[in-house]
């Protein structure tokens, strides 16, 4: 994933004054904010837009925070922080059970809100995953899976796979791979690329089907789902 604009925070809060205060605080931190003042609108924005974090009030007219949380969780793993005026343990547990990542009890200090927002954004970033067919690469965690099975890769194998997946569908020359994965200073033979592609195929392709790593004769390699 390339560098993106500032993270987008969805604030679902029916009390406009509170929504506005939160919006100002978040904007002051350089974050982008969109506000929904009811549950249905919040749900729609959460599902339709590329939101990085949802601050979700619990008590909302119509569809409440819990329902919004459950609905979003069915399809997206966007971090969700529940804002609740309730201080009972039962409600917090219900929120976390519904898939929320965290909760803040109102009234809250600005510093606490911002600290939790930052933590949730970091957590969300670590969930970013690249997918090609049933191959999943999670760069922040340096983990890869095929057909939901973890792949045991060495550091170099992971770097190579990450590079191939980042440029999926694009034919990459041995020189380009060597420069990007081994670095321009590497003065070994370009056939080190072929050797490592062979290692990767043993782990990523051979136990599974169909193969994802393809040789382009005379050029190099491409990772794609045919
Ligand atoms: Ca409310």
The pLDDT tens digits for 183-203 are: 866 666 768 999 999 999 999
Q: What number is the average pLDDT over the span 68-79?
A: 88
Ligand 1 centroid distance, CA of 58 (Å): 6
Mean pLDDT, the chain, rounded, equals 90
Ligand 1 centroid distance, CA of 127 (Å): 29
Q: Give the Cα separation of 67 and 51 in Å (integer).
A: 18
Q: Give the Cα separation of 142 and 153 in Å (integer).
A: 9
Ligand 1 centroid distance, CA of 13 (Å): 6
Q: Give the Cα separation of 65 and 83 in Å (integer).
A: 9
The pLDDT tens digits for 113-153 are: 999 999 999 887 777 788 899 998 988 778 899 998 999 99
Ligand 1 centroid distance, CA of 47 (Å): 21
pTM: 0.62
Ligand 1 centroid distance, CA of 119 (Å): 24
Ligand 1 centroid distance, CA of 174 (Å): 57
Give the per-residue pLDDT at 40. 96
Ligand 1 centroid distance, CA of 59 (Å): 4
Ligand 1 centroid distance, CA of 114 (Å): 20
Q: What number is the average pLDDT over the span 204-211?
A: 96
Q: Give the Cα separation of 59 and 44 in Å (integer).
A: 18
**Residue 78 CB contacts under 8 Å (≥ 6 apart), including other chains:** 46, 51, 52, 53, 54, 72, 124
With H, G, I as helix, E, B as strand and everything else as coil, classify residue 115: helix
Ligand 1 centroid distance, CA of 33 (Å): 18
Ligand 1 centroid distance, CA of 14 (Å): 5
The pLDDT tens digits for 139-188 are: 877 889 999 899 999 999 999 999 999 999 999 999 899 989 988 666 66
Ligand 1 centroid distance, CA of 172 (Å): 53
Q: Give the Cα separation of 122 and 202 in Å (integer).
A: 33
Ligand 1 centroid distance, CA of 84 (Å): 8
Least confident of 86-90, 94-98, 124-128, 135-139: 86-90
The answer to whether the beta carbons of residues 22 and 113 sit under 8 Å apart is yes
Ligand 1 centroid distance, CA of 152 (Å): 47
Give the per-residue pLDDT at 85. 77
């Amino acid at each position: 994933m390339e560098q993106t604009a500032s993270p987008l925070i969805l604030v679902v809060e029916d009390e406009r004054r509170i929504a506005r205060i939160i919006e100002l605080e978040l904007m002051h931190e350089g974050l982008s904010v969109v506000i929904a003042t009811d549950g249905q609108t919040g749900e729609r924005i959460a599902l339709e837009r590329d939101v990085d974090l949802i601050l979700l009030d619990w008590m909302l007219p119509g569809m409440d925070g819990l329902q919004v949380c459950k609905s979003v969780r069915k399809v997206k793993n966007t971090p969700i922080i529940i804002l609740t005026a309730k201080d009972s343990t039962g409600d917090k547990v219900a929120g976390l059970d519904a898939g929320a990542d965290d909760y803040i009890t109102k009234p809250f200090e600005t510093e606490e809100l911002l600290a939790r927002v930052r933590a949730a954004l970091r957590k969300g970033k670590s969930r970013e995953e690249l997918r090609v067919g049933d191959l999943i690469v999670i760069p922040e965690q340096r983990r890869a899976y095929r057909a939901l099975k973890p792949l045991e890769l060495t550091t170099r194998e992971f770097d190579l796979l990450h590079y191939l997946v980042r440029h999926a569908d694009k034919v990459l020359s041995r020189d380009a791979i060597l420069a990007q994965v081994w670095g321009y200073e590497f003065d070994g033979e370009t056939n080190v690329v072929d050797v490592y592609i062979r290692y990767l195929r043993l782990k990523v392709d051979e136990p599974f089907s169909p193969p994802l790593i393809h040789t382009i004769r005379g050029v190099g390699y491409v990772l794609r789902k045919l």
